[in-house]
Structure 1
Amino acid sequence: MNASLDEKTRAILTACLPVLEADGMRIIKEMYARLLVKQEIRDLFNMSHQEDGRQIEALAYALKAFTRHIDDLSELKNMVERIAEKHVGLNIRPRHYPFVADALLGALADILGDRATSEIMEAWGKAYWFLAHILMDREAQIYHAKEVAPGSWTGWRSFTVRACVKESDLVMSLILAPSDGRPIMRHQPGQYLSIHLDIPSHGVALRHYSISSDPGHETYRISVRRAYKGLASSWLHEKARPGMLLQVSAPSGDFTLVEPMPKSIILLSAGIGLTPMMSMLGALSDAQTRRPVHYIHVTRSPETEVFAEDIPRHAQSGKIRADIFYSRSKPNRIDGAVRRHAGRLSPDWLKDQIDPEATCYICGPDKFVHDMVCILRACGLPKSRIRYEFFGLASVEDLVA
């Protein structure tokens, strides 16, 4: 991210920022209308995010962030890393980038109309390929790392569903074992698997699911929440059975425990956002170095709670302190290892728990992540010690970058 565009191009892009503020959503909507005509590209997208507008919104935010930081793109290194990891999980390759270039530049010309001068279009062409090459270079590095890592693979690999475990009315875990019987890549706690589904009468659906199991060499566990009108999640809940084959790409994602281990760690999650935290808790419980670890989770009620036995087990090890908040109910059990609270997690309570030297990990719905980030920043924690993952696509602009 040290390279930069030439001064003239940067000046033109900066001058276009008001246009992006006013028409960014229209530009991206038109871009997708052009792009998704091609089935090869359409199959790479979660179409439910197209239907509810979140994919359009997220990319519009990313385009504005790129333009705002055009003079110092180092501010976008986390965004670039997140996108590159997603692309590798979906097996996106350099051959896909020209499709996006044609669609984006065509949409810009269409929406800008007479304002789309040759200078402006040339500048945006340079900007797109500049960013595209940054992503392609990083993705090439990630692909290479997977090629040489023990047990890893590139592309899609067949896995067999070994077991289906009902965690709650809405959450089911799938235990996945490689169909070829060979070892698998030991994932980093917090990473996800990308799953390639071919759903009858719907076609290809690609989804990311966090790995909720401890790092190992034999199986992965993913825990799928059945989303309202969720095509892939509903199909898995209804059809997944032991023996079913699924196509899976190697673990990806940058929402992982940082090294060296910080002085203390706070894990914050809400709802199904606890899935990557379970992998982190397992790794931290097994770690030889002792660091204070505080896990804080929010769920609606005891009925929506999942991994109800796993969290106390980790807390009983003495290495982890745990609090669970039931936002719409009261606890139905008491145990010495986990403190359970009725009602929402309040900012004042959280502020009292913050170790100023802690590194914090946050995962959950966009609003939860945004609220937690704001509280932690207000407590004086620097950005470098606030790490977060949101499921789906961010609908809060300042989380995108």
Structure 2
Amino acid sequence: MSAPLDDQTRSIILATVPALKAHGLAITTEMYKRLLETPAIRDLFNLSHQQDGEQPKALALAVLCYAEHINDLGALGGMVERIAEKHVGLNILPEHYPYVATALLGAIGHVLGDAATPEILDAWGKAYWFLADILIGREKQIYEGNESTTGGWTGWRAFRVRSRRRETSTITSFELVPVDGGTIFRHKAGQYLSFKLDVPEHGSQRRNYSISSAPGEDHYRISVRRQDGGIASTWLHDSVKEGDILQVANPAGDFFLNETDRNPLVFLTAGVGLTPVMSMLGELAQAHTDRSIRYVHGADTQALAAFVTQIEDFAKIDVLKADFFYSQESSPTKESVSGITTHAGRISPDWLRQTLDRSATYYICGPDSFMRDMVDTLRDEKLPATQIRYEFFGSAADPDLVLSAA
């Protein structure tokens, strides 16, 4: 573990905040350019997030948050945990960190030029390794915990596609079972799997997909939305068939049900953001919970809403009540199942205020703009932060959401 950062180092880091606000994206873009020149490092990243600029943007925000909170690093605990979980999913190891240090410090010097004095580079070198040692230590704990748990593993494990099912025209589910025939790690409902995919003509690709099946089953299910131009999602939809083998990392992620919380539950989802929530609902149904559950989902049309039949089945046995919003249907289909209500339009802040349950814990997952609307509304209504939980898909690029995610 690195020694605590001294006062002078922290003072220099804090003084670089204006430069990071002005040039942070340029620095992280240059850093990735340097980092990705090494094939062994390049293969660790989701390159689609490089092409759309999301990964450099997300890292720039993370670096800025780190600098701004250098005197109050406790505020970054949640962000550090999410990074550690992502790293474990991608099998990031201690030997990878020096490459990042070299690329980051080189990028700072390249972008800031003469303004990057030896003192600034020395301070950022110390700050980087201080944080790196925290991450390395936490990741070691997670790796060891996974390996020592029944069905757990480290590195990549071969899984066979046992079945695939088309949920909607844009979402396909894949059931995965281990090739070695062994047991599988009981994931926490809401976690994801990381994949090392060998996509023809595109080489090695890394992707994360939420587990949409309930914990404790003999398989993992992922439900993947086809993205326009998406290398991995298109390949999975068009080419991966039953019997094919995929390389999978142990389940990871810090977005899961709080087992000690007994509050009523409200799940707010949009688009493919429903996938981790389906795992949560499956676990709650298995446990025959007596907690009040409300499931709220937004989709363009009824035909594009996945798992409607499963939600209807849950409603029939009084596991939950549900609201479906269809933004491109002016006349929602009449409900055929008690406990399910359909609406025209989107899930709006006004509707959320009108239906607010101040005793409930809210779990939110969907596009960033949707999460921002929902989170801002709940905060404006003074709901405690402990009752607002949400998950990011892809590289989160909203600094406030990143820092305060529970």
Please state which band the TM-score falls in when normalised by the shorter chain: over 0.9
Aligned to 1:188: 188
Task: Write the mapping of 1:1-400 to structure 2, written as runs, cut at 5 A.
Answer: 4-329=4-329, 330-335=331-336, 336-400=338-402
Query: Is the Cα–Cα contact under 8 Å of residues 285 and 317 in structure 1 kept in the other structure?
Result: no
CA distance, structure 2, for counterparts of residue 29 and residue 104 of structure 1: 10
TM superposition score normalised by structure 1 = 0.97
Counterpart of 2:159 in structure 1: which amino acid?
Answer: F
CA distance, structure 2, for counterparts of residue 263 and residue 327 of structure 1: 30
Deviations 1:227-278 (A, max 9, x none): 0100000001111111001111111100000120232111111000000010
Q: What secondary structure, in the 3-state scheme, does the structure 1 residue paired with 2:110 have? A: helix
Q: Cα offset for 1:354?
A: 2.1
Query: Is the Cα–Cα contact under 8 Å of residues 41 and 96 in structure 1 kept in the other structure?
Result: yes
Q: Cα offset for 1:288?
A: 4.4
CA distance, structure 2, for counterparts of residue 8 and residue 288 of structure 1: 56
For structure 1, the residue ranges without an aligned partner over 5 or more in a row are none
Percent identity over paired residues: 53
Counterpart of 2:132 in structure 1: which amino acid?
Answer: A
Q: Cα offset for 1:333?
A: 4.5
CA distance, structure 2, for counterparts of residue 136 and residue 331 of structure 1: 51
CA distance, structure 1, for counterparts of residue 349 and residue 318 of structure 2: 26
Q: Cα offset for 1:19?
A: 0.1
Query: Is the Cα–Cα contact under 8 Å of residues 363 and 388 in structure 1 kept in the other structure?
Result: yes
* Aligned Cα root-mean-square deviation (Å): 1.5
Query: Is the Cα–Cα contact under 8 Å of residues 192 and 209 in structure 2 kept in the other structure?
Result: yes
Q: Cα offset for 1:290?
A: 1.8
CA distance, structure 2, for counterparts of residue 223 and residue 273 of structure 1: 10
TM superposition score normalised by structure 2 = 0.96
For structure 2, the residue ranges without an aligned partner over 5 or more in a row are none
CA distance, structure 2, for counterparts of residue 77 and residue 342 of structure 1: 40
CA distance, structure 1, for counterparts of residue 380 and residue 5 of structure 2: 34
Counterpart of 2:333 in structure 1: which amino acid?
Answer: N
Q: Cα offset for 1:83?
A: 0.7
Q: Cα offset for 1:4?
A: 4.7
Query: Is the Cα–Cα contact under 8 Å of residues 320 and 339 in structure 2 kept in the other structure?
Result: no
CA distance, structure 1, for counterparts of residue 186 and residue 376 of structure 2: 33
CA distance, structure 1, for counterparts of residue 227 and residue 376 of structure 2: 27
Deviations 1:60-116 (A, max 9, x none): 010111111111111111111111101000100000000000000000111111111
Q: What secondary structure, in the 3-state scheme, does the structure 2 residue paired with 1:250 have? A: coil
Query: Is the Cα–Cα contact under 8 Å of residues 301 and 331 in structure 1 kept in the other structure?
Result: no
CA distance, structure 2, for counterparts of residue 279 and residue 88 of structure 1: 21
Q: Cα offset for 1:8?
A: 1.0
CA distance, structure 1, for counterparts of residue 131 and residue 360 of structure 2: 33
Q: Cα offset for 1:328?
A: 1.4
Q: Cα offset for 1:346?
A: 1.8
Change (3 A) 1:301 1:4: farther
Q: How many residues align?
A: 401
Q: Which 4+ residue blocks in structure 1 deviate beyond 2 angstroms?
A: 286-289, 330-333
CA distance, structure 1, for counterparts of residue 135 and residue 54 of structure 2: 22
